[in-house]
Amino acid sequence: MPKIVDPQQRRRAVADAVHAVVAHYGLQAATLRNVADEAGLAIGSVRHYFTDHDELMIFAVQELGRRVGERVWTHAERLLTGTSDSREERRHRTEELLAELLPLDDVRRDEVVLRHAFAVAAQTRPTLLTHAEAIQQTMYDLVHRTLRGAQAAGGLPADLDVELESIRLHAVLDGLGLQAVLFPQRFPPDLLSKVVRRHLDSLTAAA
Amino acid sequence: MPKIVDPQQRRRAVADAVHAVVAHYGLQAATLRNVADEAGLAIGSVRHYFTDHDELMIFAVQELGRRVGERVWTHAERLLTGTSDSREERRHRTEELLAELLPLDDVRRDEVVLRHAFAVAAQTRPTLLTHAEAIQQTMYDLVHRTLRGAQAAGGLPADLDVELESIRLHAVLDGLGLQAVLFPQRFPPDLLSKVVRRHLDSLTAAA
DNA sequence: AACATTGTGGCATGACCGTGCTATAAAAGC
DNA sequence: GCTTTTATAGCACGGTCATGCCACAATGTT
C-alpha cells in the first residue's frame, strides 16, 4: 500500500529506529538491516528514503539535534521571556532548564548516550563532524543564554565572565552526563541535580 | 626468528598499535588486520598473543588505564608528598596534576580520545565495562586525593564537600576534554588551563 | 641428533556488510 | 483504461571481518 506515506514522516520514523538501535546496541550496530528490523520495514524500504548508509547516519544526527534543540528551546523560552518572576522562581526554572541536558529519565538518558556516541564517531568521520558540532553549539548556546539571562536579571555578579562560565558549566553538564550513563547506579538523578545546584550556588557567590 | 621475544612486551606493542589505530581512525577500525599492519606484524602473529579480538580490546583498555594511571600517579606523588611547599607552589603543582587529564599535547590528546572511545563502547559492550570503569575510577581518585590533600594543607575551606566537589571537578575535566578533542581550534590549550584555574579559584573562595 | 616449544604466516570458511539491480503492487495522472 | 510514479521487497555480488586450522621455521631441551 504505497503512496499514503508522508516521506518526511517516514524518514523521521527511520531515524527513530536508528536512535533506538544506537542507544541500545551502539553505533556499530546501526546497520541497514538492524535499522530496518527496528523500524519494522524491509531494507529496500529504508533504502528508498536514503540513498546510502552515510546519508542515513547524517540524517539521524541532524534529527537528534533537532529534537534536543526543540525540547530545550521550548523550556528555554519559558525561562528567558518571563521577566517578572521571583528570584527563587527563576532559579528553579534555571535548574529545570539545565536538567534537560542531563540523563534524568529514559528519554534524556538515550539522548545523552546518542550525543556521546555521535560525538566520538564524528572525531574520525568527517561527514558527521559538522552536525555533531551543531549539537554541541546548541548546548553551549543554551547554557550561555541561560547564564546571560541570569546575569541580566541580577542573579549573577555583573563582572562574571559569562563566556568562560558557559564553557565551564557546559563541561560540567557534559562530563556529568557521560559518567551517569556509564555508571547509572553510582550517579542517581538526585546526585546529578545536587552537583548542578552546587555549581549554580558557586556562581552566584563568587565574582 | 622466534623465542627471543618477551611476550609481555609484544602484547604491549600490539596494544600500542590498537591505541594508534583507534585514536586515528576510530574503534571500528581496530580490526586484527589494521592492528597487525600498524604493529608491523602479520595477523597470525597478533593472534598468537591474543586468543580473540575481544581479548585484544580488553587488554588495550587495561593497558590504557595502566599508562594513564602510571603517568598520573608519578605526578601525583610529587604533589601529595611534598608538604613543606608554599601555597603558590602547591597551587601550581595542582594545576599541573589536573592538566594531566586534559588534551594539552598529542600524547594526552590521544589518551582523551581513547578514554572517550572506550567509554562509549563500554556502554554497549559488557566485556569492556569493568575496565572502562576502572579508568574512570582512577581519574576520580586522582581528583579526590588532590582536593583532599589541598583541603588538608589548608588550601581549601574545611567545610567543603570534597566528594561532591571531586565529582564536579572530574566532570569539568572530562567534559572539557571531550569538547577539546572535538573542536581543537575552539578550545586551545590555554583556554582549557584557564577554565581549570577558574574552577580552582571558585573552590578556594566559596565555602 | 631427535623432539617439543614457540613464533610466524597464511589459507579457507562462514557471517555480515552496503549496494546495484530487478520485480511487483498500489496510487496518481492522463 | 493506460501509463507513470511511488512504495515495498528481495536477490546477488563483492568486500571485509574474526576465526579454525594447518604449515613451517627458529629456538630450547634432552
- Rounded to the nearest angstrom, the gap between the alpha carbon of residue A61 and the centroid of all alpha carbons in its chain is 11
CATH architecture assignment, domain A53-205: Orthogonal Bundle (1.10)
Mean pLDDT confidence for B52-65: 97
CA contacts within 13 A on the Cβ side of B85: 18
Contact check, Cβ <8 Å, A194/B113: no
pLDDT in tens, B128-165: 999 999 999 999 999 999 999 999 988 899 999 999 99
b/e code B100-116 from CB counts within 10 Å (16+ = b):
bbbbbeeebbbbbbbbb
Q: What CA–CA distance (Å, rounded) separates B183 from B180?
A: 5
- Rounded to the nearest angstrom, the gap between the alpha carbon of residue B79 and the centroid of all alpha carbons in its chain is 18
Q: What CA–CA distance (Å, rounded) separates A92 from A89?
A: 5
Find, among A129, A123, A160, A9, the residue nearest to A62 by Cα.
A129
Nearest residue to D22 (CA, C1')?
Answer: B44
Nearest residue to D9 (CA, C1')?
Answer: A44
The domain defined by B1-50 carries CATH number 1.10.10.60: yes
Q: Give nucleotides in strand C with any atom < 7 A to a protein C-beta.
A: 5-11, 16-23, 25-28
pLDDT > 50? residue A57:
yes
State the pTM of this model. 0.93
pLDDT in tens, B7-40: 688 999 999 999 999 999 999 999 999 999 999 9
Q: What would the DSSP string read from start to end of A15-79? A: HHHHHHHHHHH-GGG--HHHHHHHHT--HHHHHHH-SSHHHHHHHHHHHHHHHHHHHHHHHHHHH
For A85, residues 6+ apart whose C-beta sits below 8 A from its C-beta are A93
- What are the domain boundaries of chain B? 1-50, 53-205
Domains A1-50 and A53-205 belong to one CATH topology? no
